Structure 1
Amino acid sequence: MSETEVPLVEPDRLAAELAQPDPPTLLDVRWRLTGPPGRDDYLLGHLPGAVFVDLDTALCGSPGTAGRHPLPDPAALQAALRAAGVRAGHPVVVYDGGDGMAAARAWWTLRWAGHRQVRLLHGGWPAWVAAGLPTSAEAPDPASGDVTVRPGALAVLDADGAARLAAADEGVLLDVRTAPRYRGETEPIDPVAGHIPGAVNLPAPEYVDAGRFPSAETLRARFAAAGVTADAPVGAYCGSGVTAAQAVLALHLAGRPDAALYVGSWSNWVADPQRPVATGETPAR
């Protein structure tokens, strides 16, 4: 992974880049699964020059049988990104409230859309504030961008693809939800509890700590313990494709840029009552 491809940037490095004549485009994607809207936080204070982009309405499609956070319509995504000032070939930095999940889904979405130069502010808004760097409550009026959305630059799984990967002799489908949700003991959001048969549970706290990623070596070891090898196929899912996007980012850092995201995730899987559901700790196929 080259210097320009490392998908993380630390606050001090970003501050130096923002002081340059043509700084990166900043997207504030703060978001909470159960609300309130992230825009409220943005209006109270944000990185100078950052534009708020809503995860639910701008970066994802409408919820339904495709999942709670399905792929966006390419034309709608292009319009939202251009309105936020995203330019073709120009670097973008995304950040959230610190857990890194919404920012990772924004990173993934831009990469999937063909925009390669996108990074995540490591530690998000809290790391920026903790570093004593300047903030603003002024919402900018960015010049319209000219980015063109070209879907398909990152690997995507649908339900059938996820099932095949989970059942394969080689390859791993990671379920990154909490262990009780994986085992089927509880399901606070979706109508059915359990997991995709054959999927391996690797809860997010085992590879990321409060939005911060360990070294590539540590990540490789943690993924290897879950059965991820250097070259066999690997994919990830969660409840609706947000936490799993963070897992895909971690896999990129670990040297697996081919990792696939099951975007619809569990919310799409259980939309079809004919799909099998497994429970318990063992990822039986």
Structure 2
Amino acid sequence: MRLSEDPDLQAIFFGLFLSMYLVTVLGNLLIILAVSSDSHLHTPMYFFLSNLSLADIGFISTTVPKMLMNIQTHSRDISYAGCLTQMSLFALFVCMDDMLLTVMAYDRFVAICHPLQYSVIMSPRLCGFLVLVSFLCSVLDSQMHNSIVLQITNFKAVEILNFFCHPSQFINLACSDTFTNIIVIYIFGAIFGILPISGILFSYSKIVSSILRIPSSRGKHKALSTCGSHLVVVCLFYGTGLGVYFGSAVSHSPRSSAVASVMFTVVSPMLNPFIYSLRNRDMRRALRRLYGTTAYSQEL
């Protein structure tokens, strides 16, 4: 489904989403490059951040390039195999973002609540293990969606009421009984949705209680600044994500669902680099150092 049937708006949409896609990819690549090139950022927090940036690049690349091609070619067709691939990658990167945000909340919990043991607890081996577990859980969630969809019988030609192949669309368009599949999806949704959110809420409840015990206001501000960017990204990710599901359920409007999906799949990954670079002094310093090194090499 197009975001608008007005032909005059198609060129505007193409330029807008192409710009947003390039800004997202460039911004996240700059974060990855800054973290890898600056030895001061070789810490668990920035290691998780670089992995989150990589997941965000894959997240937005799953939906926007296909939409841009559809606008350019004036075609809205997608093959069954292409739809399954897009749906699988979408589930993979959404779950990867979800798991990494939870891991980053745990990292902030250890840093603020157990600062003297931070380097011992958050060892390179544990950090690598947490990222690996996040990836394996994401693959499991993605393959679960694929296995459910492959068991569903659909009509040969259907209209997907969104600008990409969302897993729920296959369920809604099924012409066979999907009760068991819906139950399985809810179970996995609880595992990969409620548990990470619970972990984040638990971590921040402990963080807030530890910050309140800090006697000086300067110490409280310093502790809050270390997790402020992560908290903003968490609110943006879950706020737009919940808007996709609850908004479509309440309004029953395909256009409203598509707008909510744009906020979740395009706007959220685009804003993450700005949030982490503008609210983080170390990241701004690393980006300036990276820019200075690039400019110096160009002069040579």
Question: Normalised by the size of structure 1, how large is the TM-score?
Answer: 0.28
The structure showing larger relative contact order (alpha-carbon pairs under 8 Å, at least 6 residues apart) is: 2
- TM-score, reference length from structure 2: 0.27
**Structure 1 or 2: larger strand share?**
1
Give the structure with the higher percent helix: 2
